[in-house]
Amino acid sequence: MSDSASQWLLEQIHSARGMASLWCLDEHAQGDTLPNASSLSVITNRWDQSELTRHAGLNTHFSDFDFSPRADGSLDRVFYRVSKEKPVVHHIINEAGRCLKPGGELVLCGHKTDGTKTYIDKASAYLGQREKAKKMGQLYVARLVRSDSLATPLDDSDYTIPRPIFTDDDVQFFSKPGLFGWQKRDRGSAMLWEQAAPRLQTSVAETLLDLGCGYGYLGLMTQRLPLKRRVLTDNNAAALAMAAYNAEHNGIPAEVIGADCGERITDTFDAVLCNPPFHHGFGVSGDLTDRFLRSAHTHLTPNGRAWFVVNRFIPLEQKARGLFTHAEVLADRDGFKVIELRR
């Protein structure tokens, strides 16, 4: 999906060759226009974006925007198209200020509806400047110069710190900013587990895949099942970090694997649990549900079963025809529906 803010940012990156630069990439890298410069590094929290930039020859660091390896005052430029979640934006602005040399530039952009003008105003004050956002149609852009000293950092909601959010069936779940719906138990996932749990308890499933695991709720709620293997996978670095944290904290054996819709995982499983995202980038993607369906089909054993939960307006049972021999709606309420699929 094309994003005009990201396109503008790429133009600025292309013109910054020879400078020690960092591209903070959340989403929207365009494979056919990626720069190729030895002085440019990329930090991204998305596995698919990390693969795209790595294959383009860029020095890429996949993490939950962990800037700790970078020294103070080590960068000439930081490029960033603002993210959807405020704590993420504040965290990156704070770390960009720390890592920039005095006189270095933070190049910010985003759409009007992203709150970009407010972010630019805050970043300018933090960097010790009074530069204003420039309006370009529906975009706001800015090149903010770091002064010799920084002001008070922006409130990032303690971005790096996991915190307990709830306990379910003796499993304590922690979460943090950087995940969608990080402060709560997802209603759709709870509804999916309500339907899948009794069916899994009477099945002979020995292996299970949590596809798009988030902080690991569905995969780790299987702790009482006699599974020989459970695998949790996600595209988001914050989700992977919290899924691994929750598995270790609760003493539940689990493999946590970074992958775009499970693409790196070549094994098959007796059971798949999936609450697929329907937001992709800064819009809504119907293709994403199709990709998760195809992935579930690929990763199921011949007699395997998959359980999905989706918003009720998504015709998943119709989409599943042609891939699965059986598609049954198990529950339909409160805006969600749970579907069982069989190969």
Whether residue 38 is predicted with pLDDT greater than 80 in this model: the reply is no
Q: Is residue 335 part of a domain?
A: yes
**Contacts of 53 by beta carbon, 8 Å cutoff, 6+ apart:** 23, 25, 29, 34, 42, 44, 60
Per-residue confidence (pLDDT) for residue 64, from 0 to 100? 98
- The count of structural domains within the chain is 2
Of the three residues 83, 115, 145, the one that is the final residue of a domain is 145
Confidence of residue 17 (pLDDT cuts 50, 70, 90): confident
Q: For the segment 249-260, what is each residue's pLDDT rounded down to a tens digit? A: 999 999 999 999
**Contacts of 198 by beta carbon, 8 Å cutoff, 6+ apart:** none
Whether residue 110 is predicted with pLDDT greater than 90 in this model: the reply is yes
Q: Are residue 203 and residue 298 in the same domain, yes or no?
A: yes
Q: Are residue 85 and residue 13 in the same domain, yes or no?
A: yes
Question: Residue ranges of the alpha helices (H) in the chain?
Answer: 4-14, 47-55, 86-99, 116-126, 187-201, 217-220, 237-250, 286-299, 316-319
Confidence of residue 118 (pLDDT cuts 50, 70, 90): very high
* Angle subtended by helix axes 116-126 and 86-99, to nearest 10: 30
Per-residue confidence (pLDDT) for residue 32, from 0 to 100? 59
Other beta carbons within 10 angstroms of residue 196's beta carbon come to 26
Other beta carbons within 10 angstroms of residue 57's beta carbon come to 12
Q: Are residue 211 and residue 251 in the same domain, yes or no?
A: yes
* The pairing of beta strand 207-211 with beta strand 229-234: parallel
Q: For the segment 164-208, what is each residue's pLDDT rounded down to a tens digit? A: 999 999 999 999 999 988 999 999 999 999 999 999 999 999 999
Per-residue confidence (pLDDT) for residue 239, from 0 to 100? 98
142 close to 107: Cβ distance less than 8 angstroms: yes
Q: Are residue 133 and residue 199 in the same domain, yes or no?
A: no
Spatial CA neighbour of 238 closest among 73, 76, 84, 38: 84
Per-residue confidence (pLDDT) for residue 319, from 0 to 100? 92
339 close to 328: Cβ distance less than 8 angstroms: yes
289-308 average pLDDT score:
96
Token pair for 256: 């946590």
Whether residue 109 is predicted with pLDDT greater than 90 in this model: the reply is yes
Which domain, by its residues, includes 196? Answer: 163-342
Q: What is the pTM of this model?
A: 0.93
- Is 324 in a helix, a strand, or coil? strand
36-63 average pLDDT score:
92
Token pair for 178: 């950087």
100-106 average pLDDT score:
97
Q: What is the CATH number of the domain that holds 53?
A: 3.40.50.150
